[in-house]
Structure 1
């Protein structure tokens, strides 16, 4: 009953988790006892904070309400997305640096001649190494998350990140750099798959898009912060073939370990996903987390009871499908949403945004900005990325997923085609590439250069509030509880598979087919528009269980449910329900239990079946 006892119990619980059986009528007996003696308290209380007052008596809620505040939970969890952003810009900022190019040089660097850095194909491999590791990490994250929980899988990713960053910082060769980036990628794959799942399962439905979208915002902040750290470190030594110092790239790659330490220790204090707890039959813990996060500490809040019942209905239905594998995602009743989730992530890559992030310095070099001027000009695109993600965080649940994706596809296709036109009409081919970098194969000047830069900024401004956040928000909403971890892991692996391919493909493409590279990405955006229009249903404002009912709609298409173009946003009704007006929720969308009840009524009597 001491604070030390709470800390010891927390460690014991982490090492030896024991399922808590469902109590009659979902009672909260343990919550009425001393909070330090219950499993629920271990989720609700940080190890350094105890009280002698029971949960039900309304003790001082300060610290407990802090760790139960969904904004705090999301802000901590999405640091995992920031790790991805750190990795993107820590490499992109180095591509134009003499210290990086000379240390890993594979080309000519005669007296007074700038180092050309790794060969194009090798640089593509270095870039793609992180994405390749992320593909592995995303696939591993599904079973890892189902076994350890969403929270602890995120913490495992932090440990892997520290190991990878240490190897990168100490790199003595390209091979060592690639190994470190692969290990870092495994972490990014785990975090990018499981952070959205964790937030989706703990967020209120009316704001779920906002909180999952914070993952993308964290990525943009990670990109921006690390880019300016790398820019500052570029002044260590000189930007010449003889005056550079390796500390200018080792220091930034060492500093990227810091957010992983922060995330690891902060995750210790946060509650586990209530839906994961329910699936493990830890119902008291599940209800306690729902009360803390959605009921402001009141276990009798109407919305807590409503949501708990929905989770119970889902778990009861899924007990008949307890053993699941990745193959279950390709069964007839599930393959439709599996491909929706996969293509959400695939199209987000084929928009061309990560090309802009990784190789933006090459684009600005073609427009005449090299050295520190190129780094500063490139950084503006990262600032635009951060700022333009904010509207999505504020309004994506009101806009809906479908309209946001459709508008984004049209705008990005426009800017890609515009860039292709500018380079095709005004571009001058540079043999061997600008500063011996083959990917910088063309040069534009004057108004054309300004147009190229402007369209690049507009492209980033179009991606940031649309496909950027929604590609993380959407997949966790599509799958039932039993398959959510594996489903999101599979869809995220699609993201990283295409990220790997593009990272390797783009430098040779810019060197060989030049402006036509932009045409390809413009076409991909146009195809994505058509795909979303006819196939992607609306999920904004629905609980995860109501989304499941939408896919199982008996009045809809077989194995598809309600047609995509007939779905709608129901955020206003959901907002009312979260404030206690449960009747509003009954009018918003059909519940899963209602769908199952209709199925049972429609089924023929047993005697008829036997006959």
Structure 2
């Protein structure tokens, strides 16, 4: 829409608010999450074959798995800068191309070093998408359903995981062990090219974030987008609130994060990000087939059980989307922190039994997955996308997300070593202790943000009135 057309918007304009417009934009943006899930989950099916094909030790297996997390650490660091300088949309397009290159490099890898390079590059794409997709969605979504729409990104992540688990299982089930050993794992990686290209091309059809446009002085363009979301009258109020929130903040990133309220928000975001990865979910996700085989399942059965985990993830992220704006972020994260601790503690006991019961291990992994997806899986990304001011949101999320991926790297790198060194019992009990710490931290330190505009949340942090966020 031209500037002249934008200036003519008024309450009787033809620009009508429509949920359909928002839904389409959110679905396209959340495809970044689907690629996040695909590239994260593909290693679960390929790990066993890669170990044999390239004669990898436990440490090498951990490096191949965790190199994607090292890349993600780089990706989130540059994501905030790119998002604030180039815009959310263009930065997501960079992520799409990166996913395509990752899939091609890993599919044609001739050794461990090439696998690590390809996985690292994929991690850069994941870092970009993991930050920018929920950030973009939060900035365009209406406040009353923001949690639900940001949750769409988590739904896309677990859908990507489910899709790749299904692809992995289909490849394993329909070909010989020899073919899978040499060729099958390459197909697992190469299939990621398709969603990567779809994501890149569809981004041409979505608008830039209206809040980003306001920071660049393009209020008229932002107004036309917000009018399609909430109607012209509300759009004008939103533009004023966004402009006011930008004008009251310090003139540099470092000055802003040094203010007491914003410093507290940044600290909370960092701790939430770290805690998300010490739920043990990625340990289970990366090595699920190995865990089920250790519990007595056959190769094909372990892959089918992993597919079932993917389906459970999708189902309960949908449940999260339905309830998160009603129940609240805080309550869900506290309750399910306790539940995850309980399930991990019992899982540790199950691994200590003289005759490990496959059905018990499977059931506990499923219950832990449900609790995670109802809370810390998507809930952390929702909170991180809400609590920072517009002017520094990208860079502040970069810092928190960097710590998230650093924690992810530690888990992916050292989980197979830890599992081999101390066994399943102590490993899962360690994660259970972290879940207890998470629940206590969330209960004592983190305010509720449901139902508030992003500008209201910012004002409460700046004024030191975080108690009002719990109202």
Q: Same fold (TM over 0.5)?
A: yes
Alignment equivalent of 2:470, drawn from 565, 568, 589? 568
Q: 1:139 to 1:420 in 2, by over 3 A?
A: same
Alignment equivalent of 2:31, drawn from 79, 89, 108? 79
Mapped to 1, the partners of 2:122 and 2:92 lie a distance apart of: 13
2:234 equivalent to 1:312: no
Aligned length: 470
2:350 equivalent to 1:422: yes
Q: Deviations 1:21-77 (Å, cap 9, x if unpaired)?
A: xxxxxxx743367xxxxxx9xxxxxxxxxxxxx997639x8xx969x7111111111
Mapped to 1, the partners of 2:180 and 2:385 lie a distance apart of: 46
Match of 2:105 in 1: 167
Conserved? CA contact 1:322–1:482, under 8 Å: no
Match of 1:458 in 2: 367
Q: Deviations 1:566-595 (Å, cap 9, x if unpaired)?
A: 6436xxxxxxxxxxxxxxxxxxxxxxxxxx
Conserved? CA contact 1:168–1:177, under 8 Å: yes
Alignment equivalent of 1:249, drawn from 185, 191, 202? 185
Unaligned runs of 5+ in 1: 1-5, 10-27, 34-39, 41-53, 107-117, 428-443, 554-559, 570-611
Match of 2:404 in 1: 495
More helix by share: 2
Q: 1:65 to 1:542 in 2, by over 3 A?
A: closer
Aligned alpha-carbon RMSD (Å): 2.2
2:148 equivalent to 1:210: yes
Q: 1:552 to 1:315 in 2, by over 3 A?
A: closer
Alignment equivalent of 2:14, drawn from 45, 49, 58? 58
Conserved? CA contact 2:262–2:462, under 8 Å: no
Match of 1:221 in 2: 159
Match of 2:418 in 1: 509
Mapped to 1, the partners of 2:25 and 2:214 lie a distance apart of: 19
Match of 2:41 in 1: 89
Q: Deviations 1:291-342 (Å, cap 9, x if unpaired)?
A: 01221xxx2x3x2232122112112223xx33325x7535544221101111
Match of 1:347 in 2: 275
Conserved? CA contact 2:214–2:239, under 8 Å: no
Alignment equivalent of 1:122, drawn from 48, 52, 60? 60
Unaligned runs of 5+ in 2: none
Conserved? CA contact 1:150–1:198, under 8 Å: yes
* Structure with larger Rg: 1
Cα offset for 1:481? 1.1
Q: Which moved more, 1:188-197 or 1:378-387?
A: 378-387
Conserved? CA contact 2:339–2:371, under 8 Å: yes
Higher relative CO (Cα under 8 Å, sequence separation at least 6) belongs to 2
Q: 1:283 to 1:509 in 2, by over 3 A?
A: same
Mapped to 1, the partners of 2:27 and 2:6 lie a distance apart of: 27
Conserved? CA contact 2:6–2:223, under 8 Å: no
Mapped to 2, the partners of 1:85 and 1:280 lie a distance apart of: 32
